[in-house]
Amino acid sequence: MGMVRVKAIVEYEGSEYSGWQVQPNAPTVQSDLERALKVATRRETRVAAAGRTDAGVHAAGQVAVFDVAADIDLHRLRASLNGITGPAVTVVSLETVPAWFDPRRDAVARSYRYTVVHGRPRSPLLDTRSWHVPSRLDAAALQELAAMVVGRHDFSAFRAADCEAKTTHRSVRYSAWTSSAGVLVYDITAQAFLKNMVRILVGTMVETVLGKRSIEDFAQLLEGGDRRRAGRTAPAKGLLLVGVEY
C-alpha cells in the first residue's frame, strides 16, 4: 500500500516538556506524537517539525509532517491522536502535502510571541505563559528598540553559546511591542532564527529600558558582537511559536 505525507498543525503548552525533540528519559512533544501515531496506526512513524522549540516553550502553530498509509482517514486519525496524546498537546489539523514537503527547509517565515507581565504582582493566570518583571517597563522605549531589530543584522550577540548555525546574519520582517493593562507582548517574524535569539533579544531590550545599557549599545549589538555584552536570556515560559509560513 502506498504512503502519503501529512502536514499537522500542532498546539502545545510546553511547561511540562523538555522541548520538542526526542530525548532519552525525558518527556518531549515529538515523543508524545510519535507514541500516539504508533498506537493509532500500529507502525513506527517518525515526525519532523518546522523548528525544535526548547524546554518550556509553547506553540500555537507548530508544523510537523509524517508519512502514513494512503487510505487512512485523516479526520479519524486526528481524533485518535488527540485522544492519546496528553492534555498539553493538540493536533489542530491534518492535511496531505507533496512527498517532497519539508517543514523546516520550505518555511519562508516563522513568527514568535513573547509575553511580559510588568509593574504589578505576578499573574497566576499568565504565570506559565509569561515572564514576570516587577518593575514597570516603558512601552514606548521598548518599541523604539524593537523597530531597530527590523531588517538584516548580525545577531551573533543574540544567540546561545552552543548555537551551531553557520551564519549569524538574519533578516527580520516584523518586530514590535504592544501593551495592555500591565502586559507587554513582543511579536517578531523572520525567515529563520538563531538558538535562543528571541529570548535574548527580549532580555536585552528589557535590561536596556531598565538602564543597564544605552540605546546606542543596543544598536551596536545588532551589528555583531559578543554574547556577553547582550542581556539575559528571558525565561522560556514566556515564548510562543505562533506559526510558520510557506
Domain extents in the chain:
3-97, 109-245
138 is an active site residue: no
Of 54, 73, 127, 138, the catalytic one is: 54
What per-residue confidence (pLDDT) applies to 181? 87
- Dihedral class, residue 75 (left if φ above 0, else alpha if ψ from -120 to 50, else beta): alpha
Query: Mean pLDDT score of the chain, rounded to an integer?
Result: 96
Q: What is the mean pLDDT of residues 218-238?
A: 94
Tell which CATH classification among 3.10.129.10, 3.40.640.10, 3.30.70.660, 3.40.30.10 matches the domain 109-245: 3.30.70.660
CB contact at 8 A, 244 and 92: no
Q: What are phi and psi of 17, to 5 degrees?
A: -105, 150
Asked if pLDDT for residue 1 goes beyond 80, the answer is: no
Percent of the chain with pLDDT over 90: 93
What per-residue confidence (pLDDT) applies to 237? 97
| Confidence band for 42, pLDDT divided at 50, 70 and 90 | very high
Percent of the chain with pLDDT over 70: 100
Angstrom distance (rounded) from CA 161 to CA 223: 18
Q: What is the mean pLDDT of residues 117-127?
A: 95
Q: What is the mean pLDDT of residues 51-55?
A: 93
Q: What is the mean pLDDT of residues 219-245?
A: 95
| Confidence band for 230, pLDDT divided at 50, 70 and 90 | very high
What per-residue confidence (pLDDT) applies to 161? 86
Angstrom distance (rounded) from CA 86 to CA 12: 10
Asked if pLDDT for residue 164 goes beyond 90, the answer is: no
Q: What is the pLDDT of residues 22-37, one digit of tens each?
A: 998 899 999 999 999 9
What per-residue confidence (pLDDT) applies to 165? 86
What per-residue confidence (pLDDT) applies to 45? 95
Do 109-245 and 3-97 fall under one CATH topology? yes
Instruction: Give the fold, CATH level 3, of 3-97.
Output: Alpha-Beta Plaits (3.30.70)
- What letters, b where the CB count within 10 A reaches 16 and e where it falls short, cover 184-218? bbbbbbbeebbbbbbbbbbbbbbbbbeeebeeeeb
What per-residue confidence (pLDDT) applies to 85? 95
